[in-house]
Amino acid sequence: MEVVPTTPTKVGSQLSSIPSPKVESRSPRQYKRRNTTTPLPQWQRDSLTPLTLPSRDGRSHLTSFYKENIRELNQLQDIMFQKKALLDTLTDELNECRSKYEDVEFKWETLREEKMLKCQQINLKSNELTKLKEEQESKRKFMKDGHELHMQQLKAKNDADLNRTANEYRSKIEVLKFAKIKKFQNERDLLLNSVENARNKMAMNDEILKDMLQERNTEHCSTKEKWLQDYQERWRENTRINEETSDRIDALTQEITGILKPKAAKESAKLEQTMKKFKGLQDKLAEYEAETIALREEIARKSRETNDLKKCRNELEEYIESTKIELEQIHDIMIKEESMRRTLHNELQELRGNIRVFCRVRPLLPEENSSSSLINVHEFCDDAGNQTIEVKKNSGSSPPYIFRFDKVFTEEETNRDVFKEIGQLVQSSLDGYNVCIFAYGQTGSGKTYTMLNANDGIIPATINHIFSWTKDLKERGWRYDVSCQFIEIYNETIADLLRDENKLLIASSNEDTVTNLKHEIRHNTETRETTITNVTTCSLTSEEAVDGLLKRASKLRATASTASNERSSRSHSIFIVHLSGRNLVTGESSKGVLNLVDLAGSERINTSQVVGERLRETQSINRSLSCLGDVIHALGSSDASKRHIPFRNSKLTYLLQYSLAGNSKTLMFVNISGNPGHTNETLNSLRFASKVNSTKISPNTSHKVSVSMY
Ligand SMILES: Nc1ncnc2c1ncn2[C@@H]1O[C@H](COP(=O)(O)OP(=O)(O)OP(=O)(O)O)[C@@H](O)[C@H]1O
């Protein structure tokens, strides 16, 4: 391999041809510095020295010459300095390049020597290679000759084998060929024989066929003739049948157009309707199906709900069971408590006093004119448990009469307020105590209003409450029979206010009411029960019935009235309620009687001024009221148990004997009128009531009550 010298040689030769300037070699930086600070070398300084001045003659000429060229000279000098600087720079670069070149040249020389060495090695190797190639060639030639010889031997051997095998096969093929040909020839002969046989047969068959054809032809001709005859016969027959059929068709067509078509139209209309119905039914069916699905879902939902409810019911039943037991226990407690309540209630009533007196002031009526009132009601005194009422005789400065009662109802207070106060007393009658409530006062003072005013009077209100209380007590095992009687005592004679009107015999118009039935008061000393003979007893089953009874009674009283005398003012009316109770649980029983008495007018009539019937009537009223006062007063006194109580002095007190004595409760309303014109009667009424209430009269009262009896 030959190495060709390249660029460095050329560069080196080019560079070596450049003449080196005779300047010291330095770097451009050094030069620059020198350019500014270092003085120029001698040869430069010599060349730049300004020209020396010539003689005086030539001075001006020189001066002008100098002046003309000095500038150009300076410029040239500057350019020369610049060129010089550039030259220095180039020289430096050249030196640098030269040192590099020397390095490169050194390297180059080294490489060339290496190359020479390598070339020699290569030459040696190539000689070796040539020798090896020659050896290889001779070997290849030897092997090739051997191979060819071997191949020729193999070929000869194969050829011989092939020829032998081919000959074998050829002989075999010949044998087979001969056998096949023989077989085919036999088969062909057989086939030829069978063809000949077939031809013979065909000829025979042709003969037979010809005979048969002949036969058939004759047969066909005869049959054809016969068929034609038959056909003509049939044709005629068919023509006849056709005619008949067309006649029938005509008839049928007529029938169809006349009868069947309208029928068909009707039927098709029906069918159409039926189809419509069917369609409607189908729609309905679809609706029903949808509904059924909805219902099924609903049923499923309901059954789920039912199950839930059943669960709830079971839970509730369990709860009810447990509650029942609790209720029974509570019921027992309630029953016991009821007995206790009864005892306590009675004790409370006794503490309040078995005889109590309430005063009620009637408001002025529209027809009564009065500017000033002489009555003054004080506030209820809680400490003393009573209330004071002051009544003046006139509007002057005279001191007022003072009375104290258990309660005073002012003009403004209603029947409902009244009942609130007496309700507990009515309750006592349910508990088996006898109770009497009287309304006392002069005529027109409001007794009937207090007792019987429709709906809110003491009697209707009491009955209403009895109904509701008995209903409540039912829960505690109590069952009550409530019955009533309504009588009046007139002239010491008893009249039944609930009697049947048909049996009523009114005496003469002069006489006031009497019946032909005798009403006697009978006392059972053992049971301490009082009965009145021949008096109607009505069982109280409903509030409406009570209303009817009261109306009937007031009607009877009104019938007995005369134009001049109001019957209600001159007789005592007594509404008697029998309350008989039994407790189904404890076996306790109770019997109480509630007497609600509207007394006759208490006004004093001078007996000297009346005569006859009126006198008898007045005396009777006075006596009975006085007797009542005496009895109540006696009963209220501390030695009541030792004293004789004059019950027999009047029919009223005799009748109420068992309802006033013992542990019975008595309440008297003293009704007074707010009319100043009635002051005297008011004071009399209050004095009478104070006698009844005497045990409670305060010793400090300014007015000592002196009750004058009738
Ligand atoms: N508190 C009251 N509020 C309003 N009006 C009343 C009151 N009290 C009584 N009256 C009326 O006064 C009038 C007389 O009353 P009532 O008939 O009740 O008196 P009486 O005392 O029963 O009389 P008699 O003894 O004649 O039966 C009636 O018109 C009644 O409506």
In the beta sheet, which residues pair with residue 359? 408, 670
pLDDT class of 419 with cuts at 50, 70, 90: very high
Most confident residue range from 22-26, 194-198, 515-519: 194-198
Q: What string of H, E and C letters represents the secondary structure of 337-406?
A: HHHHHHHHHHHHHHHHCCEEEEEEEECCCCCCCCCCCCEEECCCECCCCEEEEEECCCCCCCCCEEEEEC
Q: Render 497-534 in DSSP notation, one character per residue.
A: TTS-GGG-----SSS----SS---EEEETTTTEEEETT
- Alpha-carbon gap, residue 581 to 591, rounded angstroms: 6
CA of 519 to the centre of ligand 1 (A): 29
Length of the chain: 710
CA of 451 to the centre of ligand 1 (A): 10
Residue with tokens 């000949």: 196
Alpha carbon 663 to its chain's center: 62
Q: Enter the CATH code of domain 353-696.
A: 3.40.850.10
Q: Is 6 helix (H, G, I), strand (E, B) or coil?
A: coil
| pLDDT recorded at residue 662 | 80
pLDDT class of 669 with cuts at 50, 70, 90: very high
- Residue of higher predicted confidence among 325 and 50: 325
**Residues of 97-124 as b/e, b for ≥16 C-beta within 10 angstroms?**
ebeebeebbeebeeeeeeeeeeeeeeee
Domains of the chain: which residue ranges?
353-696
Q: Which of 361, 362, 375, 419 to mutate to test ligand 1, by most ligand atoms within 8 A of the CB atom?
A: 362
Q: How far apart are the first and last CA of the chain?
A: 186
- Helix, strand, coil tally for the chain in percent (to 5): 65, 15, 25
- Write down the ipTM of this complex: 0.97
Find the mean pLDDT for residues 678-698. Answer: 76
Amino acid at 202: M
Q: Annotated binding residue at 442?
A: yes
- Alpha-carbon gap, residue 474 to 584, rounded angstroms: 9
| Residues in contact with 110: Cβ distance below 8 Å, sequence separation at least 6, in sequence order | none
- Alpha-carbon gap, residue 600 to 245, rounded angstroms: 125
CA of 595 to the centre of ligand 1 (A): 20
CA of 449 to the centre of ligand 1 (A): 5
- Alpha-carbon gap, residue 461 to 451, rounded angstroms: 9
pLDDT over threshold 70, residue 366: yes
The DSSP 8-state label assigned to residue 605 in this structure reads -
Amino acid at 310: K
Q: Annotated binding residue at 443?
A: yes
pLDDT tens-digit profile of 56-91? 555 666 677 777 788 788 888 888 888 988 999 899
Which residues approach ligand 1 with their CB closer than 6 A?
Answer: 362-363, 365, 441, 443-449, 566, 568-569, 601, 671
